Amino acid sequence: MDKFRYLPMTEKDQHEMLETIGVSHLEELFEDIPNEIRFQGDLNIEKALDETSLVKEMTRLAEKNRHLKEYPSFLGAGVYEHYIPSVVNHMLLRSEFYTAYTPYQPEISQGELQGIFEFQTMICELTGMEIANSSMYDGPTALAEAAMMSAGQTKKKTILVSKTVHPEARQVLKTSAKGQNLTVIEIDEKDGVTDLDHLKSEYNEDTASVILQYPNFFGQIEDLEAAEKIAHQGKSLFIVSSNPVSLGVLQPPGEYGADVVVGDAQPFGIPTQLGGPHCGYFAVTKKLMRKVPGRLVGQTTDDHGQRGFVLTLQAREQHIRRDKATSNICSNQALNALGASIAMSALGKNGLREMAEQNVQKAHYARKQLEKNGVKVVTEKPFFNEFVVRLPKPVKEVNEKLMAEGIIGGFDLSRFYENKENDMLIAVTELRTKEEIDQFASVLGGVQ
Amino acid sequence: MNEKNQALIFELSKEGRTGHSLPELDIEEMDMDELIPSQHRRKEEPELPEVSELQIVRHYTALSRRNHGVDSGFYPLGSCTMKYNPKINEDMARLSGFAHLHPYQEESSIQGALELMYKLQRSLEEITGMDQVTLQPAAGAHGEWTGLMLIRAYHEANGDHQRTKVIVPDSAHGTNPASAVVAGFESVTVKSNERGLVDLDHLREIAGEDTAALMLTNPNTLGLFEEQIVEMAEIIHEAGGKLYYDGANSNAILGITRPGDMGFDVVHLNLHKTFTTPHGGGGPGSGPVGVKQDLVPYLPAPLIIQDKDKYRFDYHIPESIGRVKPFYGNFGINVRAYTYIRTMGPAGLRKVSEYAVLNANYMLRRLEPYFDAPYTQHCKHEFVLSGKRQKKLGVRTLDMAKRLLDFGYHPPTIYFPINVEECLMVEPTETESKETLDEFCDAMIQIAKEAEESPEVVQEAPHHTVIDRLDETTAARKPVLRYKKEA
């Protein structure tokens, strides 16, 4: 192939342009690149494909995968399959949104800016916080940024994080902490929730922040009221990571005095996509407004008093502050933030509550059915849409059996927890039907 | 774009309206109080809007019409590579076999995804001349930080704890010094010379035992190729430091030269620039990082490897810096980039860079009689102009940028790089036709004339946008960052 549909250059164009430049060959434009580092020959990558062959090849790859629209799934563990209204994708395909850059020219970016302003508002409403930014990469990196911010704000060096926080979020946190020379101490789990006595004993004057997840990695509801009291004994920040769908039914962390609430808006209209891109959110109290990483959209007016929106408080950001910036984040997940806003608008106040309650109902129904089928349930305390069961066999083996029955099983906790060898974390959203749950329970019950 | 004020979606809300269709609850409903005790339950409902589906469609359609994207018109935003975002990329990323995979599915059930990631890793290694690529970083800045953490781990493994400084040119992207600090380094600036290139004498002066790395964009942010890159690499390597390549400007070099061959040890790419994945109004992007062999032991796990006819995750990286992102990076974006690479192939990618450079040089030569061009050599894929001449007439670069909005263009990057007075930075990309470039140049030339003959037309611009210049000072002094329902 030597013709490319994205390249409009013709031979005539090229000739005329070279003449204007005053060179006779295209090659002359590259004479400043020393010969010794010029690449010779063709790159050793696969040859170009025409559009039809390309679709065929990509379809071949896609069809090698088993996906969630094909098989009922009980996987969660930080990434959830929920109802996605068709309207979300249609609006995201408005190319004025997806082919735009960051809205640095507000006069021609009012759509994006207003959409993000609405996103910020929705996140504030859900979390019970006063300020939310325009998005982060994902929940775990948002959590790590929150920890970094707490160290900057308090001038303290130790982060206390519960072992009931998503293991991959803790891994990202540890990598980030290394960069800033901070110490991360993990607080033990007890009966599926944070061991508050351990938290108390590790807390001291060097604690920059206390981090909990709500509902936690095992689906359980942490005692934020008690944890907040411990976190706020001194000057440290109380950071809560939260699945935003659960906040349709649970008391928001803001009501418990959280200083920072982070998480991932993926459950709102964003496909699972093998783990990314999703949409981190970051919400804080008013006091921390000027410490927030990333972009913020603010409302203002033009010369005629007409309402408009701009990126604001940019003095925090890397393109202005360079090495003094509060974070190095530049690109975020704006398009997904827009997608999440559209999904939240579609759900509305009542739909959100209904969806959250259905998750609670169905997860508890599944728990009951599993118990009925003789499966040992580990989770005893209140949970949202996930709980843990203990199987007589390694989860990996059981999942193979489930796959053979056309079901994608739950998450294998032994992957991250040594003491949970045969424990499966099961997520049940509003999408699982009674029939699917019953079949799942019957297969799991049959495991000897 | 001539609509008046667009209501906020909250202002369209009316109690009792609905825009969703959740599944019916098909089990016997249990008492919520028994499932989750009331003390844990929400007392006050969040104020999400109550709107119908058509209201949502009209609202977001109206918003989209108040926004300018590449599909709306020319977008020569320097350093951002605002090229065409192919439609097929969007279609492929939405195939159910890619869009609806859970990251914790068994490897055997995601072989196609693993194959794609593996092949993308290999392609990016070949394109950059590096030994191993990780797809984990979410964006350019995230890749920078990842790369610097790798360099830090390398030095620490060698006992070189005194290497605390990262050298960054004065023309560098703001993320470079910011990433250096977040990775625990101190950022040190190396000066540019009168030709816009790194001052080698100054580099020699500041490189030493405390040097961890030099971060460099090549071509640099002025759009100029650092001709002495080989010497620079020698200086840094002799001092014991590593070379970091900021891939923001890779659109100029595909198949022409490779960072690995220039002497770089670590590279990040912005797939949302060079490899046509959309910018999305600020994201999501993807920022894969490639390294030379001696840095491979520190990469974040997992990597994707081929094992006979199967593909799998490799978590066995004992000296890894650890995770930088959950799961495996922005897979959905990586699908788009792979689709693009397969569309272009080796010959196509080389043409991309050739035409990107040709377009930029053509525009530079057409515009240099009317503006100040601080650097006279051939540029690469972008170039800078200075509005010094117009400033003397009372017309600032900001004014000219706003005037361009009236012509239906997104203006070039302005006031960056910071070492060029009244800077305008133009990057046309290879996907624009000569006609578009000519029309834009004509508009620029007209604005230069207006600056001389009727400066107020430029100073008071824009005249034809949905909104006039906004009061950014008040926005920052009295921030209103969310809507609140009136009581």
Whether A2 has a pLDDT exceeding 90, the answer reads no
Whether A360 maps to a domain, the answer reads no
CB contact under 8 A, B102 and A68: yes
Contacting B residues, span 380-399, partner chain A, CB-CB under 8 Å: none
Same domain, B359 and B335: no
Same domain, B325 and B468: no
The shortest C-alpha distance from B413 to chain A (Å) reads: 9
Whether B49 maps to a domain, the answer reads no
Structure tokens at B333: 């974006």
Residues 6+ apart with CB under 8 A from B97: A59, A61, A62, A63, A64, A65, A67, B112, B113
Whether A334 maps to a domain, the answer reads yes
Cα atoms found within 13 Å of the Cα of residue A286, Cβ hemisphere only: 6
By Cβ distance, the residue of A347, A384, A411 closest to B20 is A347
Domain end residue (candidates: B329, B344, B359): B344
B356: CATH = 3.90.1150.10
Return the residue in A137, A182, A295 with the most chain B beta carbons within 10 A, the one to mutate for interface testing: A137
The whole domain housing B405 covers 347-473
Same domain, B153 and B301: yes
Contacting A residues, span 46-105, partner chain B, CB-CB under 8 Å: 46-49, 51, 54-55, 57-70, 73, 75, 77-79, 81, 83, 85, 87, 89-91, 93-103, 105
Whether A324 maps to a domain, the answer reads yes
Same domain, B189 and B288: yes
Closest residue by Cα to residue A344 from B43, B47, B25, B282:
B47
Please report the pLDDT score of residue A326 as a whole number: 76
Whether B5 maps to a domain, the answer reads no
Same domain, B276 and B421: no
Whether A217 maps to a domain, the answer reads yes
Whether A49 maps to a domain, the answer reads no
Residue A101: closest CA among chain B residues belongs to which residue? B281
**pLDDT tens digit sequence for A57-70:** 999 999 999 999 99
Number of structural domains (chain A) is 1
Same domain, B253 and B369: no
Residue reference for tokens 């625990």: B184
Number of structural domains (chain B) is 2
Whether A264 maps to a domain, the answer reads yes
Domain end residue (candidates: B344, B360, B376): B344
Same domain, B180 and B256: yes
A112: CATH = 3.40.640.10
Whether A315 has a pLDDT exceeding 90, the answer reads no
Residue B147: closest CA among chain A residues belongs to which residue? A179
Residue reference for tokens 């001038």: A155
* pLDDT tens, residue order, chain B (487 aa): 445 689 999 999 999 999 999 999 999 999 999 999 999 999 999 999 999 999 999 999 999 999 999 999 999 999 999 999 999 999 999 999 999 999 999 999 999 999 999 999 999 999 999 999 999 999 999 999 999 999 999 999 999 999 999 999 998 988 999 999 999 999 999 999 999 999 999 999 999 999 999 999 999 999 999 999 999 999 999 999 999 999 999 999 999 999 999 999 999 999 999 999 999 999 999 999 999 999 999 999 999 999 999 999 999 999 999 999 999 999 999 999 999 999 999 999 999 999 999 999 999 999 999 999 999 999 999 999 999 999 999 999 999 999 999 999 999 999 999 889 999 999 999 999 999 999 999 999 999 999 999 999 999 999 999 999 999 999 999 999 999 988 6
ipTM value greater than 0.95: yes
By Cβ distance, the residue of B13, B472, B482 closest to A312 is B472
Contact present, B191 and B220 (Cβ < 8 Å): no
Same domain, B356 and B371: yes
Whether B236 maps to a domain, the answer reads yes
Closest residue by Cα to residue B175 from B135, B211, B147:
B147
| Burial call B331-341: b when 16+ CB within 10 Å, e when fewer | bbbbbbbbbbb
The shortest C-alpha distance from B440 to chain A (Å) reads: 15
Cβ neighbour number for residue A15 with a 10 Å cutoff: 10
The vertex-B398 CA angle with B393 and B404, nearest 5°, equals 95
The shortest C-alpha distance from A23 to chain B (Å) reads: 10
Residue A329: closest CA among chain B residues belongs to which residue? B141
Same domain, B466 and B376: yes
Structure tokens at B3: 């609509």
Contacting A residues, span 366-405, partner chain B, CB-CB under 8 Å: 382, 384, 396, 399-400, 403
Whether A427 has a pLDDT exceeding 90, the answer reads yes
Whether A316 maps to a domain, the answer reads yes
Contacting A residues, span 199-218, partner chain B, CB-CB under 8 Å: none
Please report the pLDDT score of residue A1 as a whole number: 54
Name the strand (E) or helix (H) holding B169. Answer: strand B165-169
Sort out which chain B residues have CB atoms less than 8 A from A67's CB and list them.
96-97, 99-101
Same domain, B283 and B360: no
CB contact under 8 A, A361 and B27: yes
Domain end residue (candidates: B320, B344, B368): B344
Sort out which chain A residues have CB atoms less than 8 A from B32's CB and list them.
249, 357, 360
CB contact under 8 A, B6 and A91: no
First-to-last C-alpha distance (Å) of chain B: 33
CB contact under 8 A, B475 and A299: yes
Closest residue by Cα to residue B45 from A268, A344, A252, A257:
A252
Sort out which chain B residues have CB atoms less than 8 A from A297's CB and list them.
481
B321: CATH = 3.40.640.10
Average pLDDT in chain A: 96
**CB proximity B279 to A under 8 Å:** yes
**CB proximity B89 to A under 8 Å:** no
Same domain, B122 and B194: yes
Same domain, B268 and B123: yes
Whether B275 maps to a domain, the answer reads yes
**pLDDT tens digit sequence for A170-195:** 999 999 999 999 999 999 999 999 99
Please report the pLDDT score of residue B4 as a whole number: 66
Sort out which chain B residues have CB atoms less than 8 A from A93's CB and list them.
90
Residue reference for tokens 């200086």: B235
The whole domain housing A100 covers 86-343
**pLDDT tens digit sequence for A393-415:** 999 999 999 999 999 999 999 99
**CB proximity A118 to B under 8 Å:** yes
Whether A444 maps to a domain, the answer reads no
